[in-house]
Structure 1
Amino acid sequence: MADTQDPTGRPDRSGLVAALGAYVLWGTFPAFWPLLAPAGSVEILAHRIAWTLVGMAVVLGVARGWSQLRGLSWRTWLTIMAASVLITINWGVYIWGVTHGRVVESALGYYVNPLVSVVLAVAVLGERLRRAQWVAVGIAALAVAVLWAGTGALPWIALVLAASFGIYGLLKKRVPVAPAAGLTAEAFLLGPIAIGYLVWLQATGVGTFGDGTVHSLLLVAAGPVTAIPLLLFAFGAKRLPLATLGLLQYVNPTLQFAWGVLVDHEPMPPARWIGFGLVWVALLVFAGEGWWARHTRVRPTAPAQPTRSTV
């Protein structure tokens, strides 16, 4: 699909609405996944994969996009497999976090993700960071240390979410297919495992599918709830400047953070506020450096590439 961004760099209104809609939907995920109780985290994850496969297969069929998956090399399929494992880890940890009162820590993972992505770009791709970008990364590392020391526990959910999605993003750059086709391929590889697990749960009487019409419909809804924001993001990303996407990506963790504090009333001791404050400072430094580089015609060496959130 051709890039349809306004040549003047001004955000396209339809693209802005679509991208903002995607980030808002991702930001409201903490309200959805707990609704699937009494299903456990693994069962919810399996339903999410299975129904995403069904939904994306229909979408790809209507869009006549199956041809994108024909003729891919075995190396590409191995990359897709690795990406599918990482996104499964990301989804599974996120679902566990938001269903076990860890929404704030989950939000932290998506705040930190852009900074983790540039560190991976340095470590894996050999790119170089500008001084201000290193400062931002250092502040973020200090934030993690403060959270660890102040709460007595490493924020492992945030770190796993940020690392898994960061590496996932690197792998996705090597897959020469559109986002919808890529997600379908990932679900295609994982779907049989997820479906087999769900069949086993139902056969042993442990599965919750069928325990009431509303509950079953909510489990099925895990598919479109996953696919719709991804499709909105793909539409918006083609029509918006990278800088606009870079700002919009923080809508998601901000909404999650607000939900965790204001709705779930998760504890926010001083150390946690300080840690989050340092993360926000790091992001301001990082975003400010990017703005300065663009407006002084100096290209950042390792910009944070906003990719779709996969919560």
Structure 2
Amino acid sequence: MTAPLAPAERPNTGILLAVGAYGIWGLLPLYMHMLVGVPALEVVANRVVWSAMLLIGLTMAMGRFVPIVKAARGRTLLFLIGSALAIATNWLAYIWAVQNAHVLEASLGYFINPMVNVALGVVLLGERVRRLQWAAVAIAAGGVLVMAISGGGAIWLSLVLALSFGAYGLLRKVVAIDALGGLLIETLILMPPALLLMLASESRGTGAFGHEMSLSILLLFAGPITTVPLLLFAGAARRMTYSALGLLQYIAPTLQFGVALILGEALHLSHLIAFVLIWAGCAIYAIDSLRGARQAAVMVPD
């Protein structure tokens, strides 16, 4: 399979892919809210199964299914098992958040995530971060601390979402497989337990799929709505630095924050203080990163 692309390769493509992924994820609570009556674990199982069916059909039509499966071995397979577990954890926590009126905490988690990306990029990938960017991380961490101390929200949920998606992005960045191939293997890894869960629910008479037309269609389309942004994200992660990728992630939690208010979630003082600190940290980090990018562009000889 292809090795990871250098960050400098096709940066504009990476930006477009990231914007598409984060835009879809930002509006996803509206879709998941229509599945409130379905247990979170069963929604995850349907996302996995229908995503797998879509990807199997797509890769077979492209003549890539067998080569991808054969290439997924050794270190590549281990990384993809890790990324599959990370994204499954993220999906479960996110769906639970939507179903239990914690979209604000979910958006907080995705505001924290860029700072997690920074830390992972520095510690594990050797990426360099300037002093002002570290200050931004510290300010954002202050927002998390406010939530933790005040008990004004499910801060554990925010941290689970941030850490699980940070781990997923890191693994997908370093694994030597392309976006489509990686996502296919991830869904194939998750498909057996997901299918067993759906069959067990059906045998107990509690299965959601196949009984009500509108609900079944929503669950079926959970496959494409899962697959498309993940493909976009994986493609973006391989074309951009991991720190830069975090800058564009603010699109998703900003949209989620707006969706939470549309859904009528209560905005407490602790939420406001935490969000102000995290937004301030994100803004400082973004401004400093853009300034650094301009300086680097000026220093590059024609």
**What TM-score bracket applies, with the shorter chain setting the length?**
0.7 to 0.9
In structure 2, relative to structure 1, the CA distance for the partners of 1:274 and 1:233 (3 Å cut) is same
Residue number in structure 1 paired with 2:95 = 95
Aligned mates of 1:241, 1:192 — CA distance in 2: 34
In structure 2, relative to structure 1, the CA distance for the partners of 1:161 and 1:235 (3 Å cut) is closer
Residue number in structure 1 paired with 2:27 = 28
Aligned residue identity for 1:111: F
How far has the Cα of 1:131 moved from its partner?
Answer: 1.0
Aligned mates of 1:273, 1:105 — CA distance in 2: 12
Residue number in structure 2 paired with 1:309 = none
Residue number in structure 2 paired with 1:287 = 286
1:84 aligns with 2:69: no
How far has the Cα of 1:213 moved from its partner?
Answer: 1.1
In structure 2, relative to structure 1, the CA distance for the partners of 1:7 and 1:92 (3 Å cut) is closer
Aligned residue identity for 2:82: A
Kindly provide the CA deviation profile for residues 144-194 of structure 1, in whole angstroms up to 9, marking residues without a partner as x.
111222344551111111101111222222321111111110000110110
Kindly provide the CA deviation profile for residues 40-94 of structure 1, in whole angstroms up to 9, marking residues without a partner as x.
1011011111111111111222233332332333222122111111111001000
The 5-angstrom pairing of residues 37-48 of structure 1 reads: 37-48=36-47
In structure 2, relative to structure 1, the CA distance for the partners of 1:294 and 1:120 (3 Å cut) is same
SS at match of 2:34: helix
Residue number in structure 2 paired with 1:185 = 185
The 5-angstrom pairing of residues 1-311 of structure 1 reads: 11=12, 19-66=18-65, 67-153=67-153, 155-233=155-233, 247-261=247-261, 263-297=262-296
Compute the RMSD of aligned alpha carbons. 3.0
In structure 2, relative to structure 1, the CA distance for the partners of 1:208 and 1:130 (3 Å cut) is same
Give structure 1 stretches of 5+ with no counterpart. Answer: 300-311
TM-score, with structure 1 as normaliser: 0.84
CA contact (8 A) 2:83 2:172 kept: yes
SS at match of 1:265: coil
How far has the Cα of 1:220 moved from its partner?
Answer: 1.0
55-64 or 78-87, which deviates more = 55-64
Aligned residue identity for 1:280: W
SS at match of 2:221: helix
CA contact (8 A) 2:114 2:243 kept: no
Aligned residue identity for 1:139: I
Size of the aligned set, in residue pairs, is 294
Aligned residue identity for 1:171: L
How far has the Cα of 1:121 moved from its partner?
Answer: 2.8
Kindly provide the CA deviation profile for residues 247-276 of structure 1, in whole angstroms up to 9, marking residues without a partner as x.
543221111100102x11211122211110
CA contact (8 A) 2:22 2:251 kept: yes
128-137 or 24-33, which deviates more = 128-137
SS at match of 2:174: coil
Aligned mates of 2:127, 2:242 — CA distance in 1: 19
Kindly provide the CA deviation profile for residues 117-158 of structure 1, in whole angstroms up to 9, marking residues without a partner as x.
111233334555321121111111110111222344551111
CA contact (8 A) 1:150 1:272 kept: no
Name whichever structure is richer in helix by fraction: 2
SS at match of 1:24: helix
Aligned mates of 1:187, 1:229 — CA distance in 2: 14
CA contact (8 A) 1:151 1:272 kept: no
